[in-house]
Amino acid sequence: MTELEKTNVFSISMGNTGVLEEVAGRAEAVARAKQISLDHNRQKVTLQRLDEMVTMVFSDGQLETYVCETRDRKSPGRKKDDFDDEEAEALNEMEDDADDDML
């Protein structure tokens, strides 16, 4: 399965039972997770996109939590501490210039 295909397939799980099913299409997956959570009172149903960038938890047929990762977890990104002093100073100057342009 390609990375693009993973963004359209969701796994549905409940408690410690593991994956109950995989559903293609976001709307279909949300509808199915809501129905499962209605059918099994007091059970939380987790809906997760296969690329693990979107996770939803349903309870009693309602969305309880929604988490969307904005950055790929595999890429650590660049922290401010990773810049040397010259790079940090250049970035600060660029930010200052951008702020001045907005005024």
Instruction: Read off the pTM.
Output: 0.65
pLDDT value for 34: 95
Q: Which of 71, 16, 70 is nearest to 45 (CA)?
A: 16
Q: Give SS3 for 65.
A: strand
**pLDDT tens digits, residue range 51-99?**
899 999 999 999 999 999 887 655 555 454 554 566 666 666 666 665 5
> Residue holding tokens 């949300």?
30
Q: Where are the domains of the chain?
A: 3-68
**pLDDT tens digits, residue range 3-54?**
777 789 999 999 888 899 999 999 999 999 999 999 988 889 999 999 899 9
